[in-house]
Amino acid sequence: MRVLAAVPVAALVLGLSTATAHAAAVTVAADGSGDYRTLQAAVNAVPAGSTITVARGTYRETVTVPAAKSGLVVRGATGNPADVVVVMNKAAKDTGSTLTSATLTVNAPNTAVRALTVKNDFAETGASSEQAVALAANGDRQVYDNVRVLGNQDTLLSWGPSYTSRHRQYFRDSYVEGDVDFIFGLGTMVFDNCTIHSLSRGSSSNNGYVTAAATDRDNPYGFLFHRSRFTSNAPSGTVYLGRPWSPNGTANQAQVVIRESSLGAHVRTAQPWTDMGSTTWRSARFSEYANTGSGAGVNANRPQLSSSQAATYTPQRYLAGSDGWNPVG
């Protein structure tokens, strides 16, 4: 373990808060060549503001970063996210809830995760309670840079301590994969230059839903997809862009904007948004702006932003909050 006297460079670059004194720099290696063999052991050991470098390998474990470990930087050693994989196979039916099924749970604010893969490889059988989260991003001011988040149903969750939480997470140059509601939750998430990949479920008519936002109705900013790519191996016209989620009957109002992005042929062009239970998609705040590709289009079922409206729905606006946070640069 090496003690750092200065603020980690990554914290400055990513717009994170200053690290605590005596932050550590440690390595994790499954073969025992590092300071720790597991990522959880490293998280448990280091103080807030530390940097954890994870060596090439597959780490089959569940990991939780507690709220008290603010300012951690967790990064893959090689820079290639495919080289460093944190994976587990828990589902809601195993753990008792969707949230606790996560492979990686990050409760701490000011966290940066870079160049690694987080995966839930639970094997779906078509039974109930098969929600299987890969990443639960539960803290404010979190940055995920060049990561892969892999799963099926409920891959990536943005959550918080209450249904009105406004935690912010920024995903840059990353890849997210799943099938049903695989980007979901109540926080504010920005996806900048990301690939959003819908897996085929083998259906000729319905291969899932990309988003299930549960944005608080007083929060103007939910999910933003900016200059990203929506891809799939599913048949044409079989994937919805999203549906509005009202967890436990809360009076939330989903907010999702997809702008200047490429939409593949898998997207339903006639009506890409749909209802969830009794919550109708028209009661949500779903919008598009200047999208391209075979799945793009403009019609009465595809609300579009005007140019002046689009100026208020930028990554910077979503993430600024009341403290002016700007990890975008």
Cβ-Cβ contacts under 8 Å for 96 (sequence gap 6 or more): none
Cβ-Cβ contacts under 8 Å for 280 (sequence gap 6 or more): 244
Please name the residue ranges forming H helices in the chain.
Answer: 9-13, 39-45, 92-95, 307-310, 315-320
Cβ-Cβ contacts under 8 Å for 97 (sequence gap 6 or more): none
Q: Which two tokens stand for residue 292?
A: 């391209």
Q: Is 35 among the catalytic positions? A: no
Cβ-Cβ contacts under 8 Å for 201 (sequence gap 6 or more): 179, 180, 207, 208, 234
User: CA neighbours within 13 Å on the CB side: how many for 237?
Assistant: 6
Q: Which of the residues 35, 181, 192, 216 is marked catalytic?
A: 181
Give the whole-angstrom CA distance, residue 225 versus residue 11.
24
Q: What is the DSSP string of 191-229?
A: EES-EEEEPP-S-SS---EEEEE---TT-S--EEEES-E
271: nearest Cα among 236, 292, 300, 304: 300
Q: Annotated catalytic sites, by residue?
A: 181
